């Protein structure tokens, strides 16, 4: 059965986006420990080189490293052409890279929506366009990993723009899990909840003053519940090995997804509660703005 064929990544060509930090870095390091041949990209060139050097110093194989903006199709096409020509087709493609901006529909700017779509949705699509056809032509099978989010499953507050992209990649994955089966290419849709990455400190929340006490309390609560990037990477690799479509990095997202599907009233109640808790931050923001304009 194809379901059992990729028990190990040893000697497999594995391409990882967003490899300079967070989940991308953690999954690249974990794959290296399994003996994978890593090909890495990220928009942060210096951090990417540092990660690659560290993996090599630990005995890992990283023959291809290139910084790229995945929202730029021409950059992805050039990268993919060079990668395939020099190293052949990939066995595993991991779309991990992404950005996050939250906000209400009144506070989000048009550029926020556009940038999220360009990076989080079109970026993975560009990678799929250029790297999956060579996998098909190679006839070796393989695996495609697309990192969505809890916001690609449920209606989290202030996530409309972000969710548009994460539901989008979920839709792409839902189709490809069936379209690619005939080529023995599995698909995993990863839906992380809270993960303790640098993004949690730098994330932009349109219209929210992140220095208010209310926001700091909410942030501290997030950190208490969040898993490490290494834990998320472990779940991803397990999903690849077992050919799982749904991959959760924490049980809270698994539970709320179960509620959504099998007990809708409980899901609606949970979403109302999340929304009410999130909106407690807004009065502090309004007061901060009044002080700025006084």
Which residues are known to be catalytic? 162
Cα separation, 229 vs 234, whole angstroms: 9
CB 108 within 8 A of CB 30: no
The full DSSP string for 4-65 is GS-S--TT-EEEESSTTSHHHHHHHHHHHHTT-EEEEEES-HHHHHHHHHHHHHTT-EEEEE
CB 39 within 8 A of CB 83: yes
The CA-CA-CA angle for residues 123, 125, 131, to 5°, reads 105
Dihedral angle at the C-alpha atoms of 217, 223, 226, 229, nearest 10 degrees? 150
């Amino acid at each position: 059965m194809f379901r059992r064929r990729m028990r190990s990544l040893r000697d497999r060509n594995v391409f990882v986006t967003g490899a300079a930090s967070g989940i991308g870095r953690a999954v690249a390091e974990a794959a290296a420990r399994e003996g994978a041949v890593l090909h890495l990209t990220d928009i942060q060139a210096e951090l990417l080189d540092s990660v690659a050097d560290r993996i090599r110093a630990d005995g890992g194989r990283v023959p291809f490293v290139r910084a790229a903006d995945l929202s730029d199709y021409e950059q992805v096409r050039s990268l993919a052409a060079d990668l395939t020509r020099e190293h052949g087709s990939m066995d595993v493609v991991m779309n991990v890279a992404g950005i996050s901006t939250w906000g209400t529909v009144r506070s989000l700017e048009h550029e926020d929506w556009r940038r999220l779509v360009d990076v989080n949705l079109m970026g993975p699509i560009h990678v799929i366009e250029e790297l999956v056809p060579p996998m098909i032509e190679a006839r070796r099978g393989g695996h495609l990993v697309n990192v969505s989010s809890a916001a690609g499953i449920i209606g989290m507050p202030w996530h409309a723009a972000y969710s548009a992209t994460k539901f989008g990649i979920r839709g792409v994955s839902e189709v490809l899990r069936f379209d690619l089966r005939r080529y023995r290419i599995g698909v995993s849709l990863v839906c992380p909840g809270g993960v303790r990455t640098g993004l949690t400190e730098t994330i932009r929340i349109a219209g929210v003053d992140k220095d208010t006490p209310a926001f700091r309390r909410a942030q501290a609560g997030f950190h208490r519940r969040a898993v490490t990037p290494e834990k998320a990477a472990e779940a991803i690799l397990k999903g690849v090995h077992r050919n799982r479509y749904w991959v959760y990095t924490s049980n809270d997202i698994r539970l709320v997804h179960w509620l959504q599907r099998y007990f809708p009233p409980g899901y609606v109640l949970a979403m109302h509660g999340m929304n009410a808790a999130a909106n407690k931050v807004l009065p502090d923001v309004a007061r901060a703005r009044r002080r700025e304009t006084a």
